Amino acid sequence: MSPGAAAALLEPAVLNAFAERCDLIAAPVLDDFTTARAEATLADIELLVTSWGCPPLDARALDAAPLLRAVVHMAGSIRGHVTEACWERGIEVSSAAAANALPVAEYTLAMILLAGKAVLERAADYRRARRPDDWLRTPPNVGNYRKTVGVLSASLVGRRVIELLRPHDFTVLLHDPYVDREEAAALGASAVGIRELFERSDIVTVHTPLLPATRGLVSRDLLTGMRPNSTLINTARGAVLDQDALTELLADRRLRAVLDVTDPEALPPGNPLWKCDNALITPHLAGSQGNEWLRLADLALAEVERWIAGDGFAHPVRRETLEFIA
């Protein structure tokens, strides 16, 4: 992992916990597998704990690690470092994506509830007016009772969002081409086509991974079909949606948006999205940060324990699922 990731994740208590479970090599963190020091370290490794900034585990790196049998990734996506060579050599892989999904889902739930109450714009109006609000004249479209929330993709995050929505009085729609009506109903949602999702929802929340097939998936056509004054939330990747079209619709005050991700990150200072006061733009903060890193460490420690005991990973990454995950 990168030195920055190591400083954030590997607190002394976490390192001590790993050392209690296995023989922990007391070497500086590896962020380059091509150096002589890295190759000497990898020679004795059976299990590798990785995180953000891990270089690719390609054939050269694996040649230097003949004893390597498993990788525990203390973060979400493994796309950047687990290569085909890992699967060819039968290396087991685990990811903390499930732990990282929870704060993203919590952020999404918070933004859904705030959007339903029109909190951001009403707070701005209150700051400008600086006088009591006539709450009995609140428009009937403000509030969270019987609103319709559309969830795009039953990813780990999308599923957690649906779970967190259950105690609330929402109608939940789901579009995912790999989830049928029965599975959607079991999750607590109604399966619909993607166009219907955008046309019927008061709030659409995007959780699809960025893949070649999903780049630009949220098109101008779908955005234009959203209800007036509805809200789009994106915590996935900026390139999943047509950002230029969204910017135009925001400028015309057709929609509202909550964007934790943009394309690129961060937006250039002169990007017109910054001028849209009906868009809340946050700096990709929905995922694990601060004390939430401890949840990633706890999951990684539990996976190491299971692997040592021969019980297999609770959160394995399968080669055949790489086409569908972030």
In this predicted structure, what is the pLDDT of residue 319? Answer: 86
The answer on 300 and 251 residing in a single domain is no
The answer on 257 and 112 residing in a single domain is yes
Two structure tokens written together for 273: 């999205």
Of 111, 127, 161, 141, nearest to 279 (Cα)? Answer: 111
| Catalytic hit among 284, 292, 305, 306 | 284
The answer on 274 and 227 residing in a single domain is yes
The answer on 264 and 303 residing in a single domain is no
The answer on 57 and 88 residing in a single domain is yes
The answer on 275 and 220 residing in a single domain is yes
| Catalytic hit among 11, 46, 84, 265 | 265
The enclosing domain of 257 has a CATH number of: 3.40.50.720
Q: What are phi and psi of 49, to 5 degrees?
A: -100, 125
The answer on 259 and 232 residing in a single domain is yes
E strand map for the chain? 47-50, 70-73, 92-95, 147-152, 170-175, 190-191, 203-206, 231-234, 256-259, 279-281
The answer to whether residue 284 is catalytic is yes
Give dist(CA 314, CA 301) in Å, integer: 12
| Catalytic hit among 159, 207, 237, 315 | 237
In this predicted structure, what is the pLDDT of residue 326? Answer: 64
In this predicted structure, what is the pLDDT of residue 129? Answer: 93
In this predicted structure, what is the pLDDT of residue 224? Answer: 98
pTM over 0.75, yes/no: yes
In this predicted structure, what is the pLDDT of residue 102? Answer: 97
**272 falls within a domain:** yes
**203 falls within a domain:** yes
- pLDDT below 50 — which residues of the chain? none
In this predicted structure, what is the pLDDT of residue 76? Answer: 87
Read off the pLDDT of residues 157-182 as tens digits, 9 standing for 90 and up.
Answer: 999 999 999 999 999 999 999 999 99
The answer on 107 and 91 residing in a single domain is no
**179 falls within a domain:** yes
State which residues form the domain around 118.
100-281
**177 falls within a domain:** yes
User: What are the C-alpha distances in Å from 281 to residues 178, 294, 295?
Assistant: 30, 26, 25
